[in-house]
Structure 1
Amino acid sequence: MKKHYVLFLAVGFTGSFFSQQKIDSITYLKLKNEIKTEILAEQLIADQPLTQKFENFLNKNRLEIKGYGVVNYYNYGKFDTDPEIKDKIDLERLNLYLGYQYNDRLSFKAEIEIEHGGAGVSKELDNQEEFGEIETEISKGGEVKLEQLNVNYQFSEAFNIRFGRLKVYLNSAQNLDSPTSYFTTHRQEMESAFLPNGWYENGIQIHGIINKKIRYYASVTTGLDASGFSSRRWIKDGHQQKFEMQNAESFAYSARVDYLFGTNKNTFAGIGSYFGNTTPNRPKNDLKDDAFVNILTGHVNYFENNVRFSGVVLWGNLQNSDLISKANTNLPNTLGAKRTPVGKNALGYSAEVGYEVLHLMLANNHQQLYPFVRYDFYDTMYAVAGDVVKKDRWNRKVFTAGLNYFLHPQIVIKAQYSTRTLGSENIDPVTVLPTGQNQKENTFSLGMAFTL
């Protein structure tokens, strides 16, 4: 009996041994096939072109790349404020946008702007405020700027939160910023005269569209720096860009509401406002008094069928502008501030209209030709305070007429002639006597612009 028991155990052990060997063999083959599959997949990825690898890394359906560029030529005619001005060619800007939609609610946006041909150190001959002084301009990163860097979370179409470096939506110029959405060779003159170009700040913004008709923006952002204010540009150069980091001692508050009443995204009418104290953000504590700036704007745009119209009104008030003027005269030369008297109130309004005419001559034509006219009025010293003397030369009226020829909906050739009349009286350069006529600045310009 004992022998039979031992034999049974031996047979059982042998069967178990060979069964285990069979299982191990199957596991080994399975593991070997998995490793082989992974090696082949890695080799396939390695053999892919770089573009294919990039598409695998980022879902191309969620990635968005856009941009636009502008190149202009300026030919100066009668230019009373600077008779020796030279004609110029300007690689005005190249803007590139990168966006990524992480999911249905969360998205990212960045914008890089390259101005006037690239980065570096530039010199400017200022015959307007510095009496022919040559200024050396050095901005952070040269003239390559990170304009936007923000994340947006969409709770619904009516309510979104955006935070990071973002665009301040005050008037319609922030929407009509691509060169195919305005007629002139350069940015809208009146708005660009005394507001920051583009106007990007660090902060948080809520925005949305209610019932497909009401669009709103409300923002809390870094404020302006009063040390940059001047006669010619009012608050424009108070935009904090001189230093590596922006002072955040005082924030600014802005809001805008639009009514969308057409089929084109650029058909809307609205109002906007901006409010903030500009004293605390000065580089040094050299002014104890508050300097609140308040801006109100109204705008209407109509881009329907073959008609394009845009109109804007801007009014601004600066508290204690006389005290700012006095404090700015003591700023160091190295700061690069103008140190000229600052106006209490600024006022501007503009309107442009164009009509597409090729459809009247050619049927089934995909190109477009817009003759247009534009009028600008702006005065950055519309009213002054205290001992500040009002300067009439900053009262400017501009009439512009020209053509926009669209070779393609995204490529436009522009030509225009503008005449600017200043409030100041012209002085004869020979007799040094008043001529009885206002100063004039006449310019013919050609431009090419595109969007991506």
Structure 2
Amino acid sequence: MAHGKIDEIQYYAGVINSPDAGSFTEGRYIQQGRLGARQFTDDVSFVAHGVYNITPALTLGASLMYGASTAQTQSQPGDATGNESNAKITMFMAETHLSYKENGFDIQALATYANLGGDVTQLRLDIGEDLSESVNGQYLTIGYDILTAFNTTHKIYLVGEVERLDMDATAVTQYVDNNRFYEYTAGLAYFPDPKIVIKADYGVKDYASEATLADENALTVSAGFIF
């Protein structure tokens, strides 16, 4: 892994183990193919990430990954996975993001795109999954600290977020709209300490018009901390 800084640009680039193509699933894309520390593979991917500090409050960044993957036949030496596919695929993923933090505002925006190439049709048949070649998504989160005008280390953010996700941009799955939705979230986030947060939010997941899944509504209360 190489990393460094050129003026206001921070970057890193390197090579990682590729995800296991035999574990890719409909609607989850390559997520289930992630390999643990004890896994092994001959497939590798190139990754790169860069962030440009436009101002102390405003940053612009981007990341990409490109690599090859096959279905693993063993998770560890002598431990068979049951995969028998010989399909070889390529993977490309890219994202760009923007962050603004000043005057009580915390604004985050991100857009991402991914594409599978190579023997995708054969991989679908071998693993029995309707994998889309292409996916994309975007989100925008806006938070405002209502205590910003007060002399306190506590923070209470009003937060709103809208997310759009298309996990089947090439329309190959049986129920395409089950993999396309918007999600809207509104809530509060209280920080009694910079490393501790207590959150309450209400979210609505709005599936596309032809989906067989019902729209979802959820109220969530949670707490978290950073070591």
Q: TM-score, normalised by structure 2?
A: 0.88
Identity between Structure 1 and Structure 2 (%)? 24
RMSD: 2.1
| CA shift for structure 1 position 412 | 1.6
| CA shift for structure 1 position 307 | 0.9
Moved over 6 A (4+): none
Question: Which has more helix, going by share of residues?
Answer: 1
Question: Which has more strand, going by share of residues?
Answer: 2
Name the CA distance, whole Å, in 2 between partners of 1:402 and 1:280: 42
What amino acid is the match of 2:48?
A: A
Q: Is the 8 A contact 1:356 1:371 kept in 2?
A: yes
What amino acid is the match of 1:292?
A: T
Q: Secondary structure at the match of 2:125?
A: helix
What amino acid is the match of 2:64?
A: S
| CA shift for structure 1 position 317 | 0.5
In the alignment, which of 43, 52, 65 is matched to residue 274 of structure 1? Answer: 65
Q: Secondary structure at the match of 2:40?
A: coil
1:326 aligns with 2:125: yes
Name the CA distance, whole Å, in 1 between partners of 2:48 and 2:191: 34
Q: Deviations over 1:81-103 (max 9, x none)?
A: xxxxxxxxxxxxxxxxxxxxxxx
Counterpart position of 2:141: 352
What amino acid is the match of 1:358?
A: L
| CA shift for structure 1 position 256 | 1.5
Counterpart position of 2:109: 311
What amino acid is the match of 2:56?
A: T
Q: Is the 8 A contact 1:412 1:449 kept in 2?
A: yes
In the alignment, which of 27, 51, 55 is matched to residue 262 of structure 1? Answer: 55
1:222 aligns with 2:11: no
Name the CA distance, whole Å, in 2 between partners of 1:290 and 1:371: 47
| CA shift for structure 1 position 390 | 5.5
Name the CA distance, whole Å, in 1 between partners of 2:175 and 2:94: 22
Q: Is the 8 A contact 2:142 2:160 kept in 1?
A: yes
Structure 1 residues 359 and 296: alpha-carbon distance in aligned structure 2, compared to 1, 3 A threshold = closer
Name the CA distance, whole Å, in 1 between partners of 2:198 and 2:31: 29
1:327-342 alignment to 2 at 5 Å?
327-329=126-128, 340-342=129-131
Counterpart position of 2:3: 207
Name the CA distance, whole Å, in 1 between partners of 2:9 and 2:211: 48
Counterpart position of 1:447: 222
| CA shift for structure 1 position 359 | 3.0
| CA shift for structure 1 position 271 | 1.7
Q: Secondary structure at the match of 1:381?
A: coil
What amino acid is the match of 1:342?
A: L
Counterpart position of 1:247: 40
Name the CA distance, whole Å, in 1 between partners of 2:135 and 2:146: 37
For structure 1, the 5+ residue unaligned runs are: 1-204, 330-339, 428-437
1:294 aligns with 2:112: no
| CA shift for structure 1 position 384 | 4.4
Name the CA distance, whole Å, in 2 between partners of 1:270 and 1:408: 27
| CA shift for structure 1 position 348 | 0.6
Structure 1 residues 426 and 263: alpha-carbon distance in aligned structure 2, compared to 1, 3 A threshold = closer
| CA shift for structure 1 position 282 | 5.0
| CA shift for structure 1 position 406 | 1.4
For structure 2, the 5+ residue unaligned runs are: 75-81
Question: How many residues align structurally?
Answer: 219
Q: Is the 8 A contact 2:103 2:148 kept in 1?
A: no
Q: Secondary structure at the match of 2:28?
A: coil
| CA shift for structure 1 position 341 | 1.3
1:372 aligns with 2:159: yes
Q: TM-score, normalised by structure 1?
A: 0.46
| CA shift for structure 1 position 420 | 0.1
